[in-house]
């Protein structure tokens, strides 16, 4: 007997506990890293954030220390004190704002689109038997739904692409980040310097970060030169520079850095004025056709800086049922035909709630009364009504009105069957019922549940 064993199962079926609830961030399928109980979210390359803080903080602290020394040594009410004291205060404020914008960019949800647990509704033209077998073998079924959808945005046709990872049609301007493994709204790019995707919810802070970094570079560069000129005292410039090594290093450092952050700031200001993203600019080139999102420079700028930031689509601290990594967690689609969403809901969890608020056991499960797996083939041959076909349709939990139906099985590769299967039914994290059965392969490629009994 190999492979999928629920760690909650004991030697007896009565020892099986329902899946325990966990926070969403604890079972998140993206590559993000969470801190403080899911309140702060970073990308997988969050370590680069410390490098960025050092590259900003080290020269800024060095500059402010240099200015503080000049202020401390200046005479009271002197021109030198009146000149350098505001320089120190402004330098500290700009450094603080720069680091704050960096953290706001890196430590927040950039606009992650919640991934779905199942593909969108298909047109019904797919081989349900083949889909069942492919899910069991770990592959995706050949569902025949369009890879793109056309929507109208400001009078222009925009194609929505299907994401095979998140199982959804991406909203307009959204794209999938291969580093974070998430679809992100208004995806701009993944920035390794901040260790986070840049999207609709942090692009404003990203632009403020790079623009304040540019201003800080120019600020330190300019006043480092002023310091050298003030310390010249009739000496040659080279001799003064040999004495003011710290100022020279800051000048060289800021001169190099400003070409990077300054060029990035100018480029993104152009993108803001034309209402483009970096991804769109490099991939689509709207200069050959009209940009459907361009509202004019003034409205584009107001949209970024004066509009409210949309709330996150994810509550990473919400409670969800844990999917067992070692067990088979699959949704049940009872029967061998394609059903509508309402029919699926009715057949999976029952037609209505009981008076006590519990979900009644589906009729398909109530009517089965097997004594064991050995009698299954005999019963099936006799009248064909004692078995039900369970199409193993999706490798996830099926959610209908907060009801979870989860299947865990042990796989016997030699017998080509799933044995020791247990079906747990829970609602709103409350355990409702537990069933056990033997599931094995039938000739038509379906999976048959035999020996079903309530535990």
The residues carrying an active-site annotation are 191
Q: Render the burial of 412-434: b for 16+ CB within 10 Å, e for the rest.
A: beeeebbbbbbbbbbbeeeebbb
Burial environment of residue 376 by CB neighbours within 10 A (0 to 12, 13 to 18, 19 or more):
buried
On whether the CB atoms of residues 21 and 406 are closer than 8 A, the answer is no
| Distance separating alpha carbons of residues 105 and 112, to the nearest angstrom | 14
Single out the residue of 189, 203, 215, 198 nearest to residue 303, CA to CA.
203
Transcribe 70-91 into DSSP letters.
HHHHSPTT-HHHHHHHHHHHHH
Conformation bin of residue 296: beta by default, left when phi > 0, alpha when psi is -120 to 50:
left
Reduce the DSSP state of residue 417 to 3 states and report it.
strand
| Distance separating alpha carbons of residues 390 and 362, to the nearest angstrom | 13
On whether the CB atoms of residues 444 and 369 are closer than 8 A, the answer is no
Q: Given CA atoms 321, 131, 29, 8 in this order, what sign does their dihedral have?
A: positive
Nearby residues of 45 by Cβ (< 8 Å), 6 or more positions away = 179, 192, 195
Single out the residue of 212, 216, 246, 210 nearest to residue 228, CA to CA.
246
| Distance separating alpha carbons of residues 123 and 138, to the nearest angstrom | 23
On whether the CB atoms of residues 250 and 301 are closer than 8 A, the answer is no
On whether the CB atoms of residues 434 and 360 are closer than 8 A, the answer is no
| Distance separating alpha carbons of residues 199 and 43, to the nearest angstrom | 13
| Distance separating alpha carbons of residues 352 and 350, to the nearest angstrom | 6
The residue whose two tokens read 């049609």 is 169
| Distance separating alpha carbons of residues 236 and 233, to the nearest angstrom | 9
| Distance separating alpha carbons of residues 43 and 142, to the nearest angstrom | 32
- What is the H or E stretch that residue 112 is in? strand 112-113
């Amino acid at each position: 007997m190999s492979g999928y064993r629920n760690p909650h199962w004991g030697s007896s079926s009565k020892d099986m506990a329902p899946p325990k609830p966990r926070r969403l961030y604890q079972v998140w399928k993206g590559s993000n890293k969470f801190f403080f109980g899911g309140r702060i979210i970073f990308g997988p390359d969050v370590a680069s954030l410390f490098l960025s803080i050092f590259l900003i903080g080290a020269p800024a602290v060095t500059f402010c220390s240099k200015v503080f020394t000049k202020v401390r040594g200046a005479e009271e009410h002197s021109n030198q004190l009146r000149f350098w004291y505001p320089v120190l205060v402004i330098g500290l404020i700009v450094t603080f704002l720069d680091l704050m914008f960096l953290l706001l960019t890196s430590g927040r949800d950039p606009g992650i689109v919640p991934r779905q647990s199942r593909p969108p509704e298909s047109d019904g033209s797919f081989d349900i038997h083949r889909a069942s077998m492919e899910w069991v073998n770990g592959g995706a079924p050949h569902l025949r739904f369009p890879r793109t959808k056309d929507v109208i945005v400001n009078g222009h046709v925009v194609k929505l692409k299907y994401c095979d990872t998140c199982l959804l049609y991406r909203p307009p301007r959204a794209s999938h980040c291969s580093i974070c493994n998430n679809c992100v709204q208004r995806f701009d790019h993944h920035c390794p310097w901040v260790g986070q995707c840049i999207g609709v919810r942090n692009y404003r802070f990203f632009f403020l970060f790079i623009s304040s970094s540019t201003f800080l570079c120019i600020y330190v560069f300019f006043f480092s030169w002023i310091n050298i000129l003030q310390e010249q005292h009739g000496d040659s410039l080279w001799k003064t520079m040999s004495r003011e090594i710290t100022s020279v290093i800051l000048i060289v450092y800021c001169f190099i850095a400003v070409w990077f952050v300054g060029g990035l700031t100018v480029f993104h200001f152009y993108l803001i004025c034309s209402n483009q993203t970096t991804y769109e600019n490099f991939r689509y080139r709207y200069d050959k056709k009209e940009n459907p999102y361009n509202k004019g420079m003034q409205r584009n700028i107001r949209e970024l800086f004066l509009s409210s930031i949309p709330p996150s689509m994810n509550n990473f601290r919400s409670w969800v049922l844990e999917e067992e990594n070692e067990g088979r967690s699959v949704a049940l689609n009872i029967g061998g035909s394609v059903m509508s969403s309402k029919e699926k809901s009715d057949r999976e969890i029952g037609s209505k709630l009981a008076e006590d608020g519990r979900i009644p056991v589906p009729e398909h499960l109530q009517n089965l009364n097997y004594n064991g797996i050995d009698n299954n083939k005999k019963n099936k041959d006799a009248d064909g009504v004692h078995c039900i076909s369970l199409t193993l349709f999706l490798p996830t939990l099926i959610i209908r009105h907060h009801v979870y139906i989860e299947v865990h099985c042990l796989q016997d590769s030699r017998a080509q069957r799933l044995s020791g299967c247990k079906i747990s039914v829970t609602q709103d994290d409350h355990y409702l019922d537990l069933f056990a059965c033997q599931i094995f392969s039938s000739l038509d490629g379906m999976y048959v549940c035999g020996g079903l009994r309530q535990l």
